[in-house]
Structure 1
Amino acid sequence: MASTLQCSCFCICLSLFLALGVWVSQVKARALTDEVSMVDLHEQWMAQYGRVYKDALEKEKRFLTFKKNVEFIKSFNKAGDKPYKLSINLFADLEDEEFKATRTGYKSPIGQRPSSNTELRYNDVTNVPASMDWREKGAVTDIKNQGECGCCWAFTTVAAVEGITQLKTGQLVSLSEQELVDCVSTNSGCNGGWMDNAFQFIKQNQGLSTESNYPYEGMDGKPCNEEKAANREAMITGYEDVPSRNEQALLMAVANQPVSITIDGSGDPFRFYSSGIFTGDCETNPTHAVTLIGYGVNEEGIKYWLVKNSWGTDWGEDGYMKIQRDVDAKEGLCGLALYPSYPIA
């Protein structure tokens, strides 16, 4: 009897041991498969974006960054507790500081901040429509891409001038960011700048050249091409700052023309935004500059701003973003209501 009991116990233990071994093997195999899948995903991503690394060491480093970012994106979307989604885009192998240094670029002058005491010329709230999309009015050019040059300030300046020029003349013309990068000496080219300096340059230069005449190169360090800059297409008489920390004033401005704004575009949710209404997470210290080209309300009643970015059509909703409007914080979500400004034609 005792022998039979010992045999039974031995068989049970052996079965448990074997089962445990199978389970551990399956876990290891699944982990290995997941790792192989991630490697395959990285290879597919590299092919899609034409990414080539200088050596195996850099590739390994980039893979680890890619894996970290992909896992964040998958975890975020799986949670499903936000009204927006993220996706794997061309920024997936960049570290945070590297991304901020090359893809953003808002920088105000040292010791000087835009005034918050400006009186807004657009002050008739009764004429503000319930929604606006300046694309539908023909005042927005196609999405552009600043590339690895931190000159978002030039792109939003140009977008705002393109908009007011179309509203004034009826002609939508793509204008030159490269002229601003090369010629606005009070800014720092690919190392950042401030829109008001760029608006002031356009006013003093009596206009801005076209994109076709002074094409974008995505780099700085070259002297201003005076001959190309003399071929002026769009003129403005000045610019105005929207009162700071006032989304109602900002609404009145955007109801009348595209407006340049500053925003915190450095966080992972913003970087990998894909669709829906962005509600955070983000800080309020501006790192990036974009253009507000409209606003609206979705079916769930969430108010939003319509943003034109300068990161190409692969980012966001074909290069655009919807971001929550009328939040409790006076500076607006991600600080978007801190320092808006627009050109005057």
Structure 2
Amino acid sequence: MASSLKWRCMSLALVVLALYTTQAMSRNLQELSMEDRHEQWMTNYGLVYKDSVEKEMRFQVFKTNVEYIDTFNKVGDRTYVLSVNGFADQTNEEFIASRNGYKNSPERKSGTAFRYENVTAVPSSMDWRKKGAVTPIKDQGQCGSCWAFSTVASMEGITQLSTGKLISLSEQELVDCDVNGEDQGCEGGLMDDAFDFIVQNHGLATEGTYPYKAIDGACDKKKEASHAA
């Protein structure tokens, strides 16, 4: 009787150990899979960390972000899906700090309200990409120049609507040359002041003439004078 009870206890212990081992192996495989994804992601974006400590810290951020993306996409009833991009090893706080350079001025300039003139049927929505008024996606990089990109995108759109020509214009010109008042290159700026700069400068150069570098630089007066729009 005692021997039978002993074998039952041993069998139960072996079952528990097997279950624990299986769960541990499953966790290890999941972790390894995520590590593989991180390594592949690093290769795709050409990233190299300074040491193992930074790599482990970035891996944990990457893991958290990827798990969120995977969970979000599994819901299935979204109008869009998320994907892993070049910012996957950054926290929300880091991403905002490095790219959100918008300076909300407490003294916003007043103006007349926009009104449609002689228009009776206004569509509920408009996709300006289909109208050919939007240039391809651009990347501001590690520079808080969102204000410049927003301003330039508006300029590109209105230029296309008024002339029929879609021209990629220069954000770097604003970063380098529009440095008075609120606008301070990669340290942030305000679209209102950028529009004033464009008016005073009589336009902007093209992206090809004054290419984007994602860093603060000295204003190139010759390129600045090459107005395209």
Length-normalised TM-score, structure 2:
0.91
How much does 1:124 deviate? 5.8
Other-structure match for 1:40: 36
Other-structure match for 2:145: 151
How much does 1:130 deviate? 4.3
- Residue from 192, 197, 201 that aligns with 2:197: 201
Instruction: Tell me which amino acid in the other structure corresponds to 2:122.
Output: V
Instruction: Tell me which amino acid in the other structure corresponds to 1:141.
Output: T
CA distance in 1: counterparts of 2:109 and 2:24, whole angstroms: 57
Sort the Cα spacing of 1:36 and 1:155 in 2 relative to 1 into closer, same or farther, 3 A. Answer: same
**Does residue 58 of structure 2 align to residue 62 of structure 1?**
yes
Other-structure match for 2:15: 19
Matches within 5 A, 1:187-198: 187-198=183-194
CA distance in 1: counterparts of 2:93 and 2:187, whole angstroms: 13
CA distance in 1: counterparts of 2:139 and 2:156, whole angstroms: 16
- Residue from 101, 104, 108 that aligns with 2:100: 104
Sort the Cα spacing of 1:88 and 1:163 in 2 relative to 1 into closer, same or farther, 3 A. Answer: same
How much does 1:151 deviate? 0.6
CA distance in 2: counterparts of 1:81 and 1:218, whole angstroms: 37
CA distance in 2: counterparts of 1:84 and 1:134, whole angstroms: 19
**Does residue 219 of structure 2 align to residue 224 of structure 1?**
yes
How much does 1:61 deviate? 1.4
Matches within 5 A, 1:43-192: 43-80=39-76, 82-109=78-105, 111-113=106-108, 115=110, 118-122=112-116, 126-185=120-179, 186=181, 187-192=183-188
Higher relative contact order (CA 8 A, sep 6+): 1
How much does 1:180 deviate? 0.6
How much does 1:81 deviate? 5.8
Instruction: Tell me which amino acid in the other structure corresponds to 1:99.
Output: F
Deviation readout 1:186-235 (Å, 9 max, x if unpaired): 21211211111111110011111111111111111x2221111111111x
Other-structure match for 1:284: none
Instruction: Tell me which amino acid in the other structure corresponds to 2:152.
Output: V
SS in 2 for 1:85: coil
Structure number having the greater helix percentage: 2
Other-structure match for 1:247: none
How much does 1:159 deviate? 1.0
Structure number having the greater strand percentage: 1
SS in 2 for 1:127: coil
How much does 1:33 deviate? 1.2
Length-normalised TM-score, structure 1:
0.62
CA distance in 2: counterparts of 1:20 and 1:123, whole angstroms: 77
Instruction: Tell me which amino acid in the other structure corresponds to 1:121.
Output: R
CA distance in 2: counterparts of 1:50 and 1:37, whole angstroms: 20
SS in 2 for 1:107: coil
CA distance in 2: counterparts of 1:88 and 1:37, whole angstroms: 15
Identity over aligned residues, as a percent?
56
CA distance in 2: counterparts of 1:178 and 1:77, whole angstroms: 36
Q: Where do 5+ consecutive residues of structure 2 fail to align?
A: none
Question: How many matched pairs?
Answer: 227
Which structure would you say has the larger Rg? Answer: 2
How much does 1:100 deviate? 0.8
Instruction: Tell me which amino acid in the other structure corresponds to 1:87.
Output: S
How much does 1:108 deviate? 2.1
CA distance in 2: counterparts of 1:61 and 1:123, whole angstroms: 56
- Residue from 18, 27, 30 that aligns with 1:31: 27
How much does 1:29 deviate? 1.0
SS in 1 for 2:81: strand
How much does 1:47 deviate? 0.7
